[in-house]
Amino acid sequence: GTQDQLLVSPRTWQKLFRPGFEQLVGAARREGLDVWMHSCGAIYEIIPDLVDIGIAVLQFDQPELHGIDNLARDFGGRVNFWCPVDIQKTLQTRDAEVIDAAAREMIEKLGCFGGGFIAGFYGSNEAIGLEPWVQDVACQAFVKYGSSLKCPPEAL
């Protein structure tokens, strides 16, 4: 996807790409493997298809493209999310309070559902123009909120 939409229409994706994805994911699943998928762009419209074919984990470096509330509401408990705090929108603020709040939101909204969230770390601060302390704030917040998360029984 791009910053705001898929590269092709959902209908085109379903017609041209879904069958191949389905074959690959099916082969992996038959061997007992989970399939993790990364996307740098907006793919919200095909997440239902990805979940349906058996993708186990979606890795987004920009989870805010999809909306944390939307991901939790529509896919919580159906797929796992592996994400850092948004690398383009939130980390770039370099505001420790904003970063802390974003990490907390992700933990609280995606972290229940029986393991629905894996806190991420972007591998190269230099590539996204950040000093290491910026991601350290996010990591510390993930640990702080993740270690004290209380999920309601129905979310487990």
Share of the chain above pLDDT 70, in %: 96
Q: What is the pLDDT, as a whole number, of residue 54? A: 97
Residue 54 placed within a domain: yes
Residue 2 placed within a domain: no
**Domain total in the chain:** 1
Q: What is the 3-state secondary structure (H, E, C) of the chain?
A: CCCCCCCCCHHHHHHHHHHHHHHHHHHHHHCCCCEEEEECCCCHHHHHHHHHHCEEEEEECCHHHCCHHHHHHHHCCCCEEEECCCCCCCHHHCCHHHHHHHHHHHHHHHCHHHHCEEECCCCCCHHHCCCHHHHHHHHHHHHHHHCCCCCCHHHC
Q: What is the pLDDT, as a whole number, of residue 151? A: 75
Residue 43 placed within a domain: yes
Residue 145 placed within a domain: yes
Residue 3 placed within a domain: no
Q: What is the pLDDT, as a whole number, of residue 144? A: 94
The predicted model gives 50-76 an average pLDDT of 95
Query: What is the domain-level CATH number for residue 140?
Result: 3.20.20.210
Residue 57 placed within a domain: yes
- Say yes or no to pLDDT of 156 above 60: no
The predicted model gives 32-50 an average pLDDT of 96
Query: Which residue range forms the structural domain that includes residue 133?
Result: 10-155
Q: What is the pLDDT, as a whole number, of residue 112? A: 83
> Mean pLDDT of all residues in the chain?
93
- Say yes or no to pLDDT of 142 above 90: yes
- Say yes or no to pLDDT of 153 above 60: yes
For 9-31, the pLDDT digits (tens) are: 999 999 999 999 999 999 999 99
